[in-house]
Amino acid sequence: MVSKAGSVPVNGEGIALFGRRIGPVMALLLLSPFMAEILSGASFPLLPIIFPPFIFLDLGLYGCGAILVREAAVRWGRGWPSILALGVAFAFLEEGLVVASFTDPLSPARQALDASGTWGAGPDGANWVWIPTLCLFHAVVAIALPILVVQLAYPSRAAARWLSGSRAAVALAWLIAAAALGRAIFSSGVFADRYYAHIAGWQVVATVAAVAALVLAARYLPARIGPAPRPGRVPPPRSLAIMTGSAYVIYFLAGFGGKGLGLSPALALGLVIGVAVVAAAGLLWLSSRDGWSDRHRFAVAAGVGWFYVGLSLLLGPLNLVVGALTGYGLWRGWRWLRVGQGSTGTPAPEQPAPESALTEIARRHAATPNLDDDPRRRRLPFGWP
């Protein structure tokens, strides 16, 4: 439902697509691979048309992966620490087992970082700059931020399970099938004549053990870490988006462009980890304050999103189209949260408009629950259910 005064959503589900029940699942299924592969420039925008198995592969890996991560956190009663731990486990699954870029110097992704594939690599082929860089990328861009955005789009479904047991099993089967197909494709040399996704037997065992340990840790991590909730102000959402985007620029340049910038592997690794630690500590501190709202949560995602919108200017005309559409989506989401819900879920200040429109807005806002006042959301960072 939209208001007559500017076509702004006012009912708490204003930008939701596909319907309330299936909508969150479909949105996350599509948004995760879009952010991780298309928006980031990792894949050519028309690849789903040129190479149709890509659709099954990326929806299964990224889409089902993100859905299952969120579903596990909800069923376990966990929060963002578990989301991020499961995101790192997903990184080890994809980059460690399916693509094997963690251990194979001939990986096309590794060679984009360094033509020889050896910058930052140890004698076993593992790259100790690439591994934490990709773990953070998958945990944040492929898993956590899509979950955050979709939950903001469907606030009334944010605390609910999205899958029945049978549908969760289907998603898990799709994920496993996509991983197996991806492994078969990459090990066949389809994408590069001399790339066969090499990984030694002991590296397979170590990677599987890392995935299992991360899943186990996610099961028992506390739902919240950091300061206890307390009164206090937070920076305006726009300032927070700028700070988030700036931190991501440093991470991206150090992790993906360290060799080109002349950084030593040790310095690049230090910057990647340092930025991650500082950003996490800052967000935990800010999110514990009463002034933290849905607009601030969206600003965290928008800061990263706007970075990739800017990056699209350097990647070609099709990527520029993707970036422009993403920029429009970020603007619409920001406007929806600002005018439709307000910064804390309360009605927006009255604007000059016909009295009937204002009455309709006030009535619908009064009927919309203020999820930020829900104590289950208040005690967790970013308002996790």
Check residue 19 and give its pLDDT: 56
Q: How far is CA 292 from CA 150, 272, 275, 285, 382, in A?
A: 18, 26, 22, 10, 8
DSSP 64-102: HHHHHHHHHHHHHT--HHHHHHHHHHHHIIIIIIIS-TT
To the nearest 10°, report the CA torsion of 305, 150, 63, 25.
-160
202: tokens are: 């002991």
> What's the angle, vertex CA 103, arms to CA 67 and CA 96, rounded to 5?
15
User: Which residue has 């298309």 as its token pair?
Assistant: 38
Q: How far is CA 338 from CA 104, 146, 172, 313, 331, in A?
A: 47, 20, 37, 28, 10
Give the model confidence (pLDDT) of 166-183 as tens digits. Answer: 999 999 999 999 999 988
The torsion angles phi and psi of 127, rounded to 5 degrees, stand at -100, 115
Q: List the chain domain ranges.
A: 23-347+377-383
Q: How far is CA 137 from CA 134, 171, 256, 265, in A?
A: 5, 22, 11, 18
331/325 Cα distance (integer angstroms)? 10
User: Which residue has 């299964």 as its token pair?
Assistant: 60
Which of 271, 274, 256, 248 minimizes the C-alpha distance to 119? 256
User: Which residue has 């009927």 as its token pair?
Assistant: 367
Check residue 117 and give its pLDDT: 59
User: Which residue has 């931190």 as its token pair?
Assistant: 247
Check residue 377 and give its pLDDT: 42
The ranges of the chain with pLDDT < 70 are 1-20, 111-120, 123, 189-197, 338-385
CA atoms within 13 A on the CB side of 356: 1
How far, rounded to the nearest angstrom, does the alpha carbon of residue 289 sit from its chain's CA centroid?
23
Neighbour tally for 369: CB within 10 Å: 11
User: Which residue has 């966990």 as its token pair?
Assistant: 78
